[in-house]
Amino acid sequence: MSLLVHSVGPACTIQDLGRPGFLDQGLSRSGAADQLALHEGAALLGQNPGCASLEMAGMGGVFEATQNIWIALTGAPMFASIDDNPVVWNASHPLLKGQQLTIGAVQQGNYGYLHVGGGFTTDRFLGSRSAHLTADIGEAVKVGDKLRCNPVTGDAAVKLHTANRFTGGTLRVVPSFQTPLFDKTILDRFARTEFERGARANRMGMQLDSEGEGFSAKGQLNILSEVITPGDIQMTGSGNPFILLPECQTTGGYPRIATVIPCDLPRAAQTPTGAKVQFEFVSLDEALILQGTYLTELSKLPSRVEPLIRDPYDIPDLLSYQLISGMVSANE
């Protein structure tokens, strides 16, 4: 046992990289909404990015260490403290037995992540520890839960500089099977439109709103259900686009105008309510190059961590530290 949950937000679940390969059985991938955050946490703790972490949607909680562990905090930034002493986001920290970690509301984005050394060791199902609530796999973390892990001893606190992906922006997309059903004028207008992320969103998908008329496809009422994957952009009957996320359905009949490329899905999932989003069509060859560059950058994350220099104002027991070694002389 490593963490005792004293309080927790209403939509916190254990997530890893998910369980791909079961679409033919009606089960979507699930896994972390922001998989880049898992790789960042793994880099900070020197472990495999497949380790399970706590995904916190909008709100964190209060967690007490029942043994000495190391933690890391990534994803959407939230205010965090250990025993009321603020700690840095996108960094690793020791959490000693009896200490309490408090994580508040999200400041930007949607999903923050709490990682522990060794990863959380919930039961596996079909090779993954990810909760998939829409498929009745696992459950949300609740008060009183005792989250287990295989604690790994850390060496020193480190930090990682990350790019801002928590305020919306441009999402690159490739055409889908049904893109030709949309007239060129509609596709051009879609690419020019500045959308706003609506309030309707969860781990299945997120609605986008815009001014003016909606977007419709030819013969959209006669489209047969086809395979769906995260990143697909469906057009509902109202003409509003929905970007599908990790717990999306596996098949659907709404027309899909495009698909967000995988390396931009973290930005899509982290776009907060009211933030602006625009789409940029790229070719499949361009998408493959962009994805290859993204994977290369993931592999370089461990080499980009650097020591976390603590601010003396944040060290309540500063006078207990040996700040000077050796002997000094006032005459030399």
Question: Average pLDDT by consecutive 10-residue portion of the chain (332 residues)?
Answer: 91 94 86 97 95 96 95 97 96 96 96 96 93 92 93 82 94 92 92 93 93 75 74 86 91 86 97 96 97 97 89 57 53 58
Q: Please count the other Cβ atoms lying within 10 Å of the Cβ belonging to residue 174.
A: 18
How far CA 72 is from CA of 164, 273, 280, in Å, comes to 18, 26, 34
**In which element (H, E) is residue 269 found?**
helix 265-269
pLDDT in tens, 210-250: 988 877 777 655 566 778 889 999 988 777 899 999 998 88
Q: How confident is the model at residue 238, as a pLDDT?
A: 77
Phi/psi at 197 (5° precision): -70, 125
Q: How confident is the model at residue 252, as a pLDDT?
A: 74
The model's pTM is 0.90
Give 103's Cβ-side CA count (13 Å radius).
Answer: 31
Q: How confident is the model at residue 25, as a pLDDT?
A: 86
The residue with tokens 């043994």 is 67
Q: How confident is the model at residue 92, as a pLDDT?
A: 96
Reported CATH class of domain 169-282 = mainly beta
Closest CA to 56 of 136, 167, 140, 134: 140
What tokens appear for 323 in the block? 């700040």
Distance of CA 135 to the CA centre of its chain: 20
Q: Are 236 and 260 a contacting pair, CB within 8 Å? A: no
> Where do the domains of the chain lie?
3-161+306-318, 169-282
What is d(CA 292, CA 63) in angstroms, rounded to the nearest whole number?
Answer: 38
Long-range contacts of 205-213 (CB under 8 A, 24+ apart): 205/234, 205/242, 205/243, 205/244, 205/245, 205/248, 206/242, 206/243, 206/245, 206/268, 206/269, 206/271, 207/240, 207/241, 207/242, 208/240, 208/241, 208/242, 208/243, 208/277, 209/240, 210/240, 213/239
Radius of gyration, CA atoms only, the chain: 22
What is d(CA 119, CA 129) in angstroms, rounded to the nearest whole number?
Answer: 10
Closest CA to 70 of 146, 8, 2, 121: 2
